[in-house]
């Protein structure tokens, strides 16, 4: 990570204006800057895009205050999907946002209201690190949840924001488009791209990874002709065409490899081979040890391998 960017994300407030009226809040997850972002829309009736983990709820609240707003004034929390790094902190944040409503995909609403199954599934994966990583996942009152139909517009943060169903990374994924400002808040459907490196990674976790649906969603993002993509992992990027082309190319390359010479019958060997390919790509894009570690933290190879292997198995190819 270059020193200038590090200085921005690791500042005391951990906030940065990415576009007029759009403040990025760095969660500083696990003490590391530049991995998870929320975006505060600072217009009338402020809105927050992404809640992030419950373990970083205090950092989000501090970021809202550092941007000059009271968390109690936030009126919307827009969630791209309910994976723990994007939504686990929603219930905790709402305790400080008494008037806020939560916007989510129809398939995600039930898990917000009753996260017990989601937490149980995640605990099987993360075990004793569950609380350290994600914090206490609190339920969201059902009466405060708004389900977003595909293309539905939400008035949030003084803007008209369209909620777009964009499956592929997850079946219940939304992207949020501010057509007037030329901004697209992409969650994970536009991939992962960390500071200090141009490398774009498709995060492919189980259980809902689907490369065919993802290709369609990438095409939908491309058709927006947005000026700027705002990624949860991490930050704003002003080269949407190149970014999405690289994401599509790498997704296609990985799936061609997985269907061909990849050692799909041996999970450990598959993870190691995927790591070799991924790390080589990061280095080729100018990344060093900090980026190698950051990409692994943001989306671990083991989890990506499990998503690809599960999809291959369901497709009868592994």
90-99 pLDDT per residue, tens: 999 999 999 9
> What whole-number distance in Å separates Cα of residue 30 and Cα of residue 17?
23
Answer for the pair 250, 259: CB distance below 8 angstroms, yes or no.
Answer: no
Residues whose CB falls within 8 Å of the CB of residue 312, separated by 6 or more in sequence, listed in order: 258, 259, 264, 318
Q: Which domains does the chain have, with CATH numbers?
A: 3-314 (3.60.15.10)
Instruction: Supply the pLDDT for residue 8.
Output: 31
Neighbours of 10 (CB within 10 A): 14
> What whole-number distance in Å separates Cα of residue 306 and Cα of residue 267?
8
Task: State pLDDT tens for residues 256-309.
Answer: 999 999 999 999 999 999 999 999 999 999 999 999 999 999 999 999 999 999
Tally of CA atoms within 13 A in the half-sphere of 62 that contains its CB:
12
Task: State pLDDT tens for residues 154-194.
Answer: 999 999 999 999 999 999 999 999 999 999 999 999 999 99
Interval 139-149 mean pLDDT: 97
> What whole-number distance in Å separates Cα of residue 276 and Cα of residue 273?
5
Answer for the pair 107, 79: CB distance below 8 angstroms, yes or no.
Answer: no
Give per-residue burial for 56-92: e unless 16+ CB within 10 Å, then b. bbbbbbbbbebbebebeebbbbbbbbbbbbbbbbbbb
Q: How does the average pLDDT of the chain come out, rounded?
A: 93
Instruction: Supply the pLDDT for residue 125.
Output: 86
- State whether the Cα torsion 171-233-57-207 is positive or negative: positive
Instruction: Supply the pLDDT for residue 316.
Output: 72
């Amino acid at each position: 990570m270059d020193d200038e960017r590090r200085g921005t994300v690791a500042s005391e407030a951990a906030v940065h204006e990415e576009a007029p009226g759009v403040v990025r809040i760095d969660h500083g997850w696990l003490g590391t800057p530049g991995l998870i972002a929320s975006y505060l829309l600072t217009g009338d009736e402020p809105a927050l895009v992404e809640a992030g983990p419950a373990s970083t709820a205090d950092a989000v609240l501090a970021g809202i205050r550092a941007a000059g707003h009271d968390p109690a004034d936030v009126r919307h929390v827009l969630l791209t999907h309910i994976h723990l790094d994007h939504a686990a902190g929603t219930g905790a944040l709402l305790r400080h946002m008494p008037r806020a409503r939560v916007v989510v995909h129809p398939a995600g609403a039930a898990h917000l209201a009753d996260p017990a199954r989601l937490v149980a599934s995640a605990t099987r994966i993360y075990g004793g690190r569950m609380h350290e990583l994600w914090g206490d996942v609190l339920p969201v009152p059902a009466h405060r949840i708004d389900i977003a139909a595909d293309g539905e517009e939400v008035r949030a943060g003084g803007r008209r924001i369209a909620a777009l169903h964009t499956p592929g990374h997850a079946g219940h994924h939304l992207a949020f488009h501010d057509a007037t400002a030329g901004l697209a808040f992409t969650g994970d459907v536009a991939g992962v791209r960390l500071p200090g490196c141009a490398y774009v990674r498709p995060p492919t976790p189980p259980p809902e990874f689907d490369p065919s649906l993802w290709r369609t969603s990438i095409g939908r993002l491309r058709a927006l002709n947005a000026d700027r993509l705002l990624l949860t992992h991490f930050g704003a990027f002003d080269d949407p065409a190149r970014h999405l082309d690289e994401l599509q190319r790498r997704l296609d390359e990985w799936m061609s490899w997985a269907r061909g010479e990849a050692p799909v019958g041996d999970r450990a060997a598959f993870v190691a081979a995927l790591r070799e390919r991924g790390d080589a790509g990061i280095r080729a894009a100018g990344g060093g040890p900090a980026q190698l570690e950051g990409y692994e933290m943001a989306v671990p190879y083991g989890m990506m391998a499990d998503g690809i292997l599960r999809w291959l198995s369901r497709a009868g190819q592994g």
